[in-house]
Amino acid sequence: MARLSRLSLAGCVHHVAQRGNNQQAIFAEPADYQCFLSLLAELAARHGVTVQAYALRENHFQLLLTPETDKSLTLLMQALGRQYVSYFNAKQKRSGTLWEGRYRSALVQPERYLLACMIDMDLGPVRDGLVAQARDYPWTSHGHYVGLRDDKFITSHEVYWTLGNTPFERQHEYEARARAGIGDALHRKISDAAWHGWALGDAGYLADLQSRTSRRIQRLSAGRPKAGKMP
């Protein structure tokens, strides 16, 4: 099966994910996480990309990003990947690739899935038994959204602002939703979309996206592909 090209559209939220090669560690100590976030902040500003959320894990990372132009996301991820690998390889006295192929990305309908994606990213360390609750893990944007710290490079999406009229109300509601979780089915749906490049949204959102690109944005339904369609 031919590999699908990545789809990047200006003004749309993208769920971006990248793994370490052979699931190896891409962060070895706190300074590595801090370096990655510093590079992300600097390069996102340079290339015109808004950062909505992040989750850094030992062997992978996930980001929610909105590019200003169709090329902004690619430029950011190329620069981020190159500069972080140079830093990490020099520090670890290693050479060669750090990433498992290219980064993955999927478009996300904010009104329907943005908060769910953010919470899913926050809860990864909880699901894996690293911490008891999302606020205990320092390397996601959860701490920013519940008022534990202020990540200056993050821009809250307008959907987050609908959670309350004051910062305290929004922080309290967001943390309550994170504690409630999103359920296994939605977690699998978000994960599948991110790692395979499928768009997440309702029928209208998906139809609008498909009208803007010839690239397939959804997994084909089970059964024999129609003639002339990509398998």
Average pLDDT over residues 201-205: 92
Distances, alpha carbon 178 to alpha carbons 62, 173, 226, in Å: 17, 9, 41
Of 116, 98, 92, the residue nearest 106 (C-alpha)? 116
Amino acid (1-letter code) at residue 23: Q
Tell me: the pLDDT tens digits for 57-98? 999 999 999 999 999 999 999 999 999 999 999 999 999 899
At residue 229, the pLDDT reads 34
Architecture of domain 13-206: 2-Layer Sandwich (3.30)
Cβ neighbors of 102 (< 8 A, separation 6 or more) are: 6
Quick one: pLDDT at residue 215?
75
pLDDT of residue 217: 76
Residue 5: pLDDT above 70? no
Lowest average pLDDT, out of 8-22, 120-134, 169-183, 202-216, goes to 202-216
Whether the pLDDT of residue 210 is over 90: the answer is no
Rounded Cα distance, 125 and 142, in Å: 11
- Write out pLDDT tens, residues 16-44: 999 999 989 999 999 999 999 999 999 99
- pLDDT of residue 224 exceeding 50, the answer is no
| Mean pLDDT on 155-167 | 97
Vertex 153 angle, CA 152 and 157, to 5°: 100
User: Are 57 and 124 in contact, with CB atoms under 8 Å apart?
Assistant: yes
d(CA 69, CA 183): 34
| pLDDT score for 2 | 43
Domains of the chain, residue spans: 13-206
Residue in the block written with tokens 């008891």: 132
Contact 13, 73 (CB under 8 A): no
